[in-house]
Chains A and B, each alone.
Chain A
């Protein structure tokens, strides 16, 4: 892969509330400090992160906001006072004894781009906390490595990291209701309402990252590829974890491709099992039933099994009318959506408290998290694309580069350079925009139909055509060479015979 060197600059403001200033400050407030961190991916890819910290004390307004009763109130009161640019973070340090944070919680991450941090005994302890929060709210070495997963050597990356969706200019989200048994179940789902209520707010927030389109369909007679196992004890059917990979393929053929666009598709499937196979439960690796009855497939989407309660009387007339509880379904699908975007909120130390994103489904800093990863990934993609284009041109000497292809390449290079420069300046949003443009231009250049490898006549075939010439011409030459060799041998053996 082509070399990539990126410096990610995160502007951080550390704001000390009254009574929280540590005793061992090196300088009087306000002052600036810089910390650097190296993220190693492979030999040719280096990502350095640079945290530009500004230490200052609170303003009067912030002080008033911090005087709120709960952390949540403080968070919403502080929001208008912050630097709203994407990627920048604000940490408010509260006194060790503050009642703003619940007992045992040292860090509270709000809905926006700020966090409340309990002052430690020393500056070093505080800085350790701040670094941890910063990584949660912007990027970690793992999230950057996941974004550059193509470059990370095999085995070094956790399987989780490979499930994140590749960065793209847009995504298509398709909700499919699979009803394999329309004879026994008429399933109705208010997908339109559910999309408007639950999915739209999240996507509106994500619209900064990519374009999203949402649609849905109902597929009848679509069955899973695996016959579930009947469990006598619970009188239910079970799908074990190891059979799940085989579930998707037969369904996939029915889903229909997105013929009208080139964006990757995220599939969310709601499966209402046949009457003869219900209730159906998914088992995890240990044999315990999965509480959500759902699973996700990396970079593809998720499947949820929705069991229909058996009718009270067995004589109930078929088909059974089922109204899907969309709140329950959408909760699972949204969680899967977050997972696919790499926004899971697990793996945090217990002293951290994360504010739930509420109606929008996504906190501001989570958006930044995505933007950081996608920007780095875009830059790496452009670099790879342009390198392989250059390799292709090296391979075929007489390839014709049209002016528009050339200008796309120039534009891609300029955009990617500006993206790198913007990242080094800490302007996340404009860097992301530039990286998107670079991806568009480089893909356009790379996939230009005039650069098709097969359009060019390979050299070995040219030689093949002239074989009728070269072969008979080579015969006398080879024969005389053989003769010369024979004669020299003769001469060596019998030097007296020389004339």
Chain B
């Protein structure tokens, strides 16, 4: 009987603990002197949301769980971003997102009307996150064929189940952060989320918050499905300019808070600080207090060293009540020796006048000896009419023929242009892609408020498997830090990168919207003045007789006076 005693109790605990929360903060000094902080909160739930029977939530937020179950979502990725990640200067981000709002969703094969589900989903998400996602409609939704593959478990990749939309005009602010924080099991009351103070987070060069929901393998054998919710938040603080040229920083300086306690629900809670030595110089920087451990990993082709603070380890809070990670540079570092990322890109609008223009994209491959292909996805609104015959791709002075092109022309007021190309980038090269367009005239009701501000064209998306300089070894996804594990790593020799270029701001021929009112005012005034003088003429009685012949008005008046039976003037 004693032996049997703990049995059901243990089973009960096992049953309840089917979900787990891991939280993680990655602090990485950027080459320019800025500091990037990346939060990741991962809730994993060993239950199949799709089966419909699940309705009892613990750590997984109910609002999102119900959404996934009700609308047949297979995978959902939503990012709200303010600012632009400068890949050229900041290096490869762990997670990048385009400026504005980005939403891409894979639906289940059981969903019959994907467009309807997509519309409903974007409306509900806009309610949950207080964002204008309800502006997603057919004019900004595309179905990419190659760029976006499911990141989680998927048995089919029929791209008709995929929808992708970007709203580059979306402004991200506190009202988007609050609902995002509310989805965390500990809210912002304990754990790493304590640092998420809105007034500091939005006082930064770059702010990007995202939600990723996907099904993952429950274990190595992958016989059952678990659902994973990743909430990520990336901020870039500019300390170089505000800190009198010093690159020293601390948690308190960044967030004006320190870590005091852990979230009791988290099964892992860690702070990683990137202390990788640059240019083989040893130990340029110094972190305090002493880290719990040192983690070495190969992240995005680079060997990195991280100082790890495990908030769950009892020794950490024993010595002091709060954790304020500080970083000091031992000697000033000259910023000229910035490493240049292997793949980066740039985009701009060329041309003059309000009739035609040209979109230019420059893609750089700085790898010394390896060529690699990249998939470029361009979504252009219908009011920029692309001329596909003007599409030119030039690398090192020669024409570069893409090995795959998918082009879907726009339909006015119905759908945008979609251009997807697979382009081979030779080693150490710059590829210039240009395409000309004509600006369409919109109907007067179609202009947004403040049309002279210009019209945004969403970022183009570059997806590539970038060859790695150092070989990577396969690691267990469950054990490795969260920031390495969202994108699947294919093999040891290359790593996946998704880059977004700058959004474009294009001026369209804009009518003077006050014109109709001006015209009404002017004509009305003229009519009123004429009316007034005529009225005076017709109603006044003139007494003074002039010897000279009267003008036209007088003769007209005399004619009328004759009709009236009054003696003429």
Chain A positions near chain B (C-beta within 8 angstroms):
174, 182-183, 188, 190-192, 195, 213-218, 220-221, 253-254, 256-261, 319, 323, 465-466, 468-469, 471-473, 475-477, 480
Q: A213–B66 Cα gap in the complex (Å)?
A: 11
Distance (whole angstroms) from the CB of B343 to the closest CB of chain A: 38
Contacts of A213 in B (CB 8 A): 55
The answer to whether A215 and B62 touch across the interface, beta carbons within 8 angstroms, is yes
Q: A257–B66 Cα gap in the complex (Å)?
A: 11
Contacts of A259 in B (CB 8 A): 63, 66-67, 124, 127-128
Scan residues 495-538 of chain B and give those whose CB is less than 8 A from a CB of chain A: 517, 520-521, 524-525, 527-529, 531-532, 535-536
The answer to whether B70 and A260 touch across the interface, beta carbons within 8 angstroms, is yes
Residue of A nearest to B539 (CB): A480
The answer to whether A215 and B55 touch across the interface, beta carbons within 8 angstroms, is yes
What total count of A-B pairs have CB within 8 Å? 97
Scan residues 204-247 of chain B and give those whose CB is less than 8 A from a CB of chain A: none
Distance (whole angstroms) from the CB of B342 to the closest CB of chain A: 42
Q: A471–B520 Cα gap in the complex (Å)?
A: 13
Q: A182–B66 Cα gap in the complex (Å)?
A: 24
Q: Which of B62, B124, B524 contacts A469 (CB 8 A)?
A: B524
The answer to whether B63 and A468 touch across the interface, beta carbons within 8 angstroms, is no
Residue of B nearest to A172 (CB): B66
Q: Is B186 located at the chain interface by the 8 A CB criterion?
A: yes
The answer to whether B535 and A256 touch across the interface, beta carbons within 8 angstroms, is no
Q: A253–B124 Cα gap in the complex (Å)?
A: 17
Q: Which of A257, A466, A468, A480 contacts B535 (CB 8 A)?
A: A480
Q: Is B185 located at the chain interface by the 8 A CB criterion?
A: yes
Contacts of A253 in B (CB 8 A): 182
The answer to whether B527 and A469 touch across the interface, beta carbons within 8 angstroms, is yes
Q: Is B159 located at the chain interface by the 8 A CB criterion?
A: no
Q: Is the interface of B mostly helix, strand, loop or mixed?
A: helix
Q: A213–B59 Cα gap in the complex (Å)?
A: 20
Contacts of B190 in A (CB 8 A): 183, 221
Q: Is B71 located at the chain interface by the 8 A CB criterion?
A: yes
Q: A182–B531 Cα gap in the complex (Å)?
A: 81
Q: A215–B55 Cα gap in the complex (Å)?
A: 5
Q: Is B169 located at the chain interface by the 8 A CB criterion?
A: no
Contacts of B517 in A (CB 8 A): 465
Q: Is B337 located at the chain interface by the 8 A CB criterion?
A: no
Residue of B nearest to A471 (CB): B528
The answer to whether B63 and A257 touch across the interface, beta carbons within 8 angstroms, is yes
Assign chain B's interface to a size class: 35 or more
Q: A256–B127 Cα gap in the complex (Å)?
A: 11
Query: Which of A191, A258, A260 has the most B CB atoms < 10 Å from its CB?
Result: A260
Contacts of B67 in A (CB 8 A): 259-260
Q: Which of A216, A254, A471 contacts B57 (CB 8 A)?
A: A216
7 additional contacts (CB under 8 A) given A220-B187, A469-B524, A472-B528: A190-B12, A216-B57, A253-B182, A259-B63, A319-B264, A468-B520, A476-B535
The answer to whether B124 and A260 touch across the interface, beta carbons within 8 angstroms, is yes
Contacts of A469 in B (CB 8 A): 520, 524, 527-528
Q: A471–B532 Cα gap in the complex (Å)?
A: 11
Q: Is B189 located at the chain interface by the 8 A CB criterion?
A: yes
Q: Which of B71, B525, B531 contacts A468 (CB 8 A)?
A: B525
Q: List 7 A-B contacts (CB under 8 A).
A: A183-B264, A188-B16, A220-B187, A220-B265, A256-B61, A468-B528, A469-B528
Contacts of A477 in B (CB 8 A): 535
Contacts of A257 in B (CB 8 A): 63, 127
Q: A259–B65 Cα gap in the complex (Å)?
A: 11
Distance (whole angstroms) from the CB of B532 to the closest CB of chain A: 5
The answer to whether B525 and A472 touch across the interface, beta carbons within 8 angstroms, is yes
Contacts of A254 in B (CB 8 A): 182, 187
Distance (whole angstroms) from the CB of B345 to the closest CB of chain A: 37
Q: Is B401 located at the chain interface by the 8 A CB criterion?
A: no
**A221-B187, A256-B62 known; A468-B55 Cβ under 8 A:** no
Residue of A nearest to B62 (CB): A217
Q: Across chains A and B, which 10 residue pairs bring their CB atoms closest together, nearest first?
A: A472-B528, A469-B524, A215-B55, A468-B524, A221-B189, A217-B57, A260-B70, A217-B62, A259-B124, A216-B56
Residue of B nearest to A253 (CB): B182
Contacts of A472 in B (CB 8 A): 524-525, 528-529, 531-532
Query: Which of A188, A253, A468, A480 has the most B CB atoms < 10 Å from its CB?
Result: A468
Q: Which of B124, B186, B520, B539 contacts A220 (CB 8 A)?
A: B186
Residue of B nearest to A190 (CB): B12
Contacts of A182 in B (CB 8 A): 186, 264-265
Distance (whole angstroms) from the CB of A93 to the closest CB of chain B: 48
Contacts of B63 in A (CB 8 A): 256-257, 259
Scan residues 153-199 of chain B and give those whose CB is less than 8 A from a CB of chain A: 182, 185-187, 189-190
Contacts of B265 in A (CB 8 A): 182, 220
The answer to whether B531 and A473 touch across the interface, beta carbons within 8 angstroms, is yes
Q: Which of A216, A260, A473 contacts B528 (CB 8 A)?
A: A473
Distance (whole angstroms) from the CB of A112 to the closest CB of chain B: 31
